[in-house]
Structure 1
Amino acid sequence: MSQPIDHTTPEPIFQRARPAALDQRVFLTKLAIVLALGAAGVSLVLTGITVCTIAGIVVLGFLYTHMVELQHQCLHHSAFLKVGLHRPVGVALGLPMMVSYSHYRIRHLQHHRYLGTYQDSEFFGFDKRQPLTVRALLSSLFDYKRLGSVAVAAYRSWRGTWRYENGQVSERICRASIAEYRLMSLVVVTAAALSAAGFGSLVVQLWLLPWLVVATPLHFLVELPEHIYCEDDTTDVLRNTRSISGSRFSTWFTNGNNLHVEHHAAMNVPINRLPERHGLVKQFAAYTDDSYWSFYGTVLREVVANRSKGRRPAPTGTVEP
């Protein structure tokens, strides 16, 4: 267990802030980088040279993971000055990995509301309370069972029977989610039609392999540090959430997901403003790591310990006195 910490937490960690013009420009720059990297990945695949094709698949897989993290910012309406821009951009960002913006948004906002209670349930379903064994790790790295739930949601959307299953939501949210699952099914039909027309290898190389082989495990690795082996019986975000200092690259790639205490403390603050709060979080939060390398080094050691001793891992991270 963690050591007692000082609860006279400085207010700036929890201070709210609305998006400003500068924040919108930062996000638009991120979207421009997405387009550039997407063009680079496609160009590498289209060379037909094996090494370049593999590199292009990896670039696109990294990009699809990054796009879901950008979608996450849209969920919180902290990217644009006009609220109405968040959904269309968020829908587009989630398409490569078949993530419904509206369904994800309502489930994720409930996660923020209920974190630390029995009602907490994230959209991406790794159970942070289970021991992290080799089997659990591999199963979550390649979480293809989610595809089944997406297929069922798309089927029910076309039949008009899709309903949100984790509480009561407005008809507007239901209609938006149904429209997005229908759109996903149309993407699949288009991909199948292109494959039938002789472009199957491109569908595989530009979409399926980057998504299923690269982006799926990467996304799990991005999500895993957020709350695992923090304290799941408290609503105090300084104890139930982890932040990782990370590098400039990891902060960009995860779109600030490494600064997760900062995000849960004030979820509508634009992501680009979170680093200025990180110093205070390192002082007052119970669980922090200096890098993803250190976090996953600890996780791997605990996985090995679980395998040999059959015990639950101890909490990881730096525990502040």
Structure 2
Amino acid sequence: MAASAPPLFTRQKVTRHDQRVFLIRLLGVAVLLTAGITAQIYGGPIGVGLGVLILACTYTHMVELQHQCLHHSAFRTARWHRIVGVPLGLPLLVSYSDYRVRHLQHHRFLGTPNDSEFFGFDTRQPITWKTLLLGAFDYIRLVRVLNAIGASILGRWTYTSGQISPRRRADVIQEYRLMAILLTALIAACALGAWQEVLLLWFVPLLLAAPIHFLVELPEHVLCEADTDDVLRNTRSITGSRLSTWFTNGNNLHVEHHAAMAVPLNRLRARHSEVLKLARHVDHSYPDFYWRILKIATHNTLRTPPARTDTTTTSAEQPTPQEFRWLRF
């Protein structure tokens, strides 16, 4: 008889099996990076476009793997999380330690006025085409990264969203200085004539990864109750498929994650049946969710509703189309 799934809020330690699963996913990253580069070198014009898309998706996937490292739920030894987590974020210029401090604060304060996230889209604002486009193409984040790099080089970087220990601040500064070295190397490569390689292997995928990552992050809390700390009401899960669960590294099972954030993400699927019974916001698939968001954005953009103070979404603002019920992604 199969063992029953653990209760939703039960903690679980990282096992050797969990660690192997994560290592296999890192191996998958290496395969995808190789595929993206190979497509650009040997695939002609079509291969260049395909390679850029593969790299953009891979860089996005790497940040989702970094997210697991933030929670120390990938390895049995804690120190490996930063060792692996730092390079996972470099293609998208995401500091592991800065992200970790801000993200754990998000877990602590979700459902309160103090809630904030490393990636700046405020899911509590009205959903319109304008807010979606600004969130999807948030290249201002890159300007903030450059500012953080400059401040770190001068030793002046400070954390403005709460408390941070001197050790963690030193880690953040070290990582932004590492990015400075990386960017200097890329600029030098461009100066030596490799500008096309830098453009296609990193810069264009970086720009394309921004909206892809936005689409991964958007479902987590948007159109959920922002005035409660009840994870069954302020967070959304998406049942999805094996493909979407792999690509988002279990981020689709977000209620499960917030209920027990240190549980290895590969174990969250076992808890989904309980979420289906208890949680208020669960979608069948990503197409279901995005279709509803697009209809709400169109409705709100055309209607131009007055600003609301109540973040609870009414049924009128949450159409429940069935057009994509056949496609689970």
Report the TM-score when normalising by structure 2. Answer: 0.91
Out of 179, 203, 210, the position equivalent to 1:216 is: 210
Please list the CA deviations of residues 44-101 of structure 1 after superposition, one character each: whole Å capped at 9, or x if unmatched: 1122610011100000000000000000000000000110000011000000000000
Instruction: Name the structure 2 match of 1:297.
Output: 291
Please list the CA deviations of residues 20-65 of structure 1 after superposition, one character each: whole Å capped at 9, or x if unmatched: 0000000000000000110110111122610011100000000000
Instruction: Name the structure 2 match of 1:205.
Output: 200
Instruction: Name the structure 2 match of 1:134.
Output: 129
Contact 1:66 1:254 in 2 (8 A): yes
Q: In structure 2, what residue type is equivalent to 1:255?
A: N
Instruction: Name the structure 2 match of 1:189.
Output: 184
Instruction: Name the structure 2 match of 1:285.
Output: 279
Out of 144, 148, 160, the position equivalent to 2:139 is: 144
1:218-257 aligned at under 5 Å gives the runs 218-257=212-251
Q: 2: CA distance between counterparts of 1:19 and 1:179?
A: 28
Out of 72, 88, 96, the position equivalent to 2:83 is: 88
Contact 2:224 2:234 in 1 (8 A): yes
Which moved further from structure 2: 302-311 or 89-98?
Answer: 302-311
1:167 matched to 2:162? The reply is yes
Q: 2: CA distance between counterparts of 1:78 and 1:307?
A: 41
42 and 11 in structure 1: CA distance in 2 versus 1, 3 angstrom threshold: closer
SS class of match (2:8): helix
Q: 2: CA distance between counterparts of 1:88 and 1:82?
A: 11
Contact 2:295 2:319 in 1 (8 A): no
Q: Which has the higher contact order (CA 8 A, sep 6+)?
A: 1
Shift of 1:310: 1.8
Q: 1: CA distance between counterparts of 2:284 and 2:55?
A: 27
164 and 14 in structure 1: CA distance in 2 versus 1, 3 angstrom threshold: same
Contact 1:287 1:316 in 2 (8 A): no
Q: In structure 1, what residue type is equivalent to 2:20?
A: R
1:178 matched to 2:173? The reply is yes
Report the TM-score when normalising by structure 1. Answer: 0.94
Q: In structure 1, what residue type is equivalent to 2:160?
A: E
262 and 316 in structure 1: CA distance in 2 versus 1, 3 angstrom threshold: farther
104 and 70 in structure 1: CA distance in 2 versus 1, 3 angstrom threshold: same
Q: In structure 1, what residue type is equivalent to 2:192?
A: A
Q: In structure 1, what residue type is equivalent to 2:215?
A: L
Shift of 1:11: 7.3
Ranges in structure 2 where 5+ consecutive residues have no aligned partner? 321-329
SS class of match (1:130): coil
Q: 1: CA distance between counterparts of 2:295 and 2:155?
A: 48
1:104-143 aligned at under 5 Å gives the runs 104-143=99-138
Query: How many residue pairs are counted as aligned between the two chains?
Result: 308
Contact 2:57 2:209 in 1 (8 A): yes
Shift of 1:308: 1.6
Q: 1: CA distance between counterparts of 2:262 and 2:32?
A: 27
SS class of match (1:191): helix
Out of 3, 20, 25, the position equivalent to 2:20 is: 25
Contact 1:74 1:87 in 2 (8 A): yes
Please list the CA deviations of residues 254-294 of structure 1 after superposition, one character each: whole Å capped at 9, or x if unmatched: 00000000000000000000000001001100000000000
Q: In structure 1, what residue type is equivalent to 2:124?
A: R
Contact 1:57 1:210 in 2 (8 A): yes
Ranges in structure 1 where 5+ consecutive residues have no aligned partner? 1-9
Instruction: Name the structure 2 match of 1:43.
Output: 38
Q: 1: CA distance between counterparts of 2:319 and 2:188?
A: 48
Q: 2: CA distance between counterparts of 1:20 and 1:268?
A: 12
Which moved further from structure 2: 185-194 or 10-19?
Answer: 10-19
**Identity fraction in percent:** 54
1:78 matched to 2:69? The reply is no
